[in-house]
Structure 1
Amino acid sequence: MRFPRHPDIIKGRVRKLLRTNAYEQKETEAALRVVRAGDTVLELGGGIGYMSTLLATKRPIRSIHSFEANPHLIPYIREVHAANGVTNAHVTNAILGPNEGGIDFYVRDPMLGSSLAVLEGEVDPPSVKVDVLDAKQVFKDIKPTVLICDIEGAEADLIPHLDLSGLRAAVLETHPQWIGPKGINAVMQAFMDAGLAYYHRGSHGKVLCFRTDW
């Protein structure tokens, strides 16, 4: 895959991991295990466009729809898609929630360290307003068969509110250091309630994989 140069995004550790094919390695292995031809993928947390480009180029999926909170990453994600000839990936600058509205997103350097939460010790960090879209309506409109999620600790609040019943599989990076055992249990329970079982072959450490058909 090709990633255009960008002084604020492709640098340091990110650049090294991309060069050595080690970027998001656990998530990559999990996603390639469960995503199949014809899948419609919904990605929460678009990052640098890595996962959407990976799946659009390595699997004959129907489409992938990425929702990324950081407005500064949106143009770069589109550059990555274009550089790799991807035409069935769509990116939206928004997050999903139980109700429509807006929320503060805190922008940091490095850019990939930005998040919805104020970190310990921070005082008035710079922020931008990001749209919150109704999660149920988005799922109804897109009808995803696979969910990919890496939203820096917001998973414990969001996942239990989603309608996961139409999914065949999911890959989720959890953040136990922020959401704790209670948050992990809430996420696991939400998938189990939707009929998805923990898939050990795709899971590794904080990356959890779920399937309905194994």
Structure 2
Amino acid sequence: MTTTAQELTIHGIDLPLTAEDVSPVIWQSLITGSYEAKEARQARRLLRAGDRVLELGSGIGVITAVMAKTEGVTIWSYDANPHTVALARRVAAANGIKNVTFNHGLMTAGQPETHSFYIRRDFWMSSMLESQGPYEDVISLPSQNIDDFLVRNRINVLVMDIEGAERELLGSAALDGVERIFLELHDHLYGLAGVHDIFRTMTERGFIYDPRNSSGPCVLFTRDDGVVRSYCPDDL
């Protein structure tokens, strides 16, 4: 990661941002290179040529841009915060990325409904949970049915960082056609019981925890291809 008064680069992605665009906490993580470092490492190994990806919770688009560098992938990216969607589009443009469609919106399982979304200065704390802490603004957003979207767009990879909403979403969605799910767990919001619920749900849906492509709370669930992996200490 390098930074000057004119440029900021993190995980190989150019960021045309200033300290005024984000909170001081997030700006510090950007200039030190710690911002989404685990996610960036795993995202480089996550995708294969031709993957069709739905990303929920794009933030400022850093992980989106990392994923978009995989040859032949197509990404649909959603975030409920209109400010971060605008920043993510700026980041994509600065890096010449044309295989991502950024959208302002929400995905849920079941019938579409209108939801309250609480926007916080540290945008990675923005969520549908009022109880998560003080917020700067609250907006109302209609949701889309995630299963309809997955089937209609032939999505085979789902990427999520949605501040605790993954527990309910994964517990209710069918996830037809999806081969890999990469997400960040938020045990500070739903405890170890919530983590257990997610692992149980993934098992019921036919997904297996992939230890070689997971790191701490950033975990990958994948369909079992039946192939026994060779021993590789560097992957463990």
- Is the structural similarity TM-score above 0.5? yes
On the 8 A contact 2:23/2:121 being kept in 1, the answer is no
1:178, 1:113 → 2: CA distance? 11
1:176, 1:159 → 2: CA distance? 15
- In structure 1, what residue type is equivalent to 2:96? G
2:35, 2:81 → 1: CA distance? 19
1:134 and 2:145 aligned: yes
Q: How does 1:120-131 map to 2 (within 5 A)?
A: 122=134, 126-131=137-142
Q: TM-score scaled by structure 2?
A: 0.82
On the 8 A contact 2:147/2:175 being kept in 1, the answer is no
2:105, 2:15 → 1: CA distance? 23
1:68, 1:88 → 2: CA distance? 17
Q: How far did residue 71 of structure 1 move?
A: 1.4
Query: Which one has more relative contact order, counting CA pairs under 8 Å at least 6 apart?
Result: 1
- In structure 2, what residue type is equivalent to 1:117? L
On the 8 A contact 1:48/1:76 being kept in 2, the answer is yes
1:128, 1:121 → 2: CA distance? 16
Q: CA RMSD in A?
A: 2.0
The CA deviation string for residues 96-141 of structure 1, in whole angstroms up to 9 with x for no partner, is 112212111112223333221113664x863111221111111112
Change (3 A) 1:163 1:120: closer
Between the two proteins, the alignment pairs up a number of residues equal to 212
Q: How does 1:1-214 map to 2 (within 5 A)?
A: 1-10=13-22, 12-57=24-69, 59-97=70-108, 98-119=110-131, 122=134, 126-212=137-223, 213=225
Which region of structure 1 is more displaced relative to structure 2, 86-95 or 125-134? 125-134
Identity %: 30
1:174, 1:138 → 2: CA distance? 23
Structure 2: gaps (5+ residues):
1-12, 228-236
Structure 1: gaps (5+ residues):
none
On the 8 A contact 2:48/2:73 being kept in 1, the answer is no
Q: How far did residue 31 of structure 1 move?
A: 2.0
The CA deviation string for residues 55-82 of structure 1, in whole angstroms up to 9 with x for no partner, is 112x114201111011122211111111
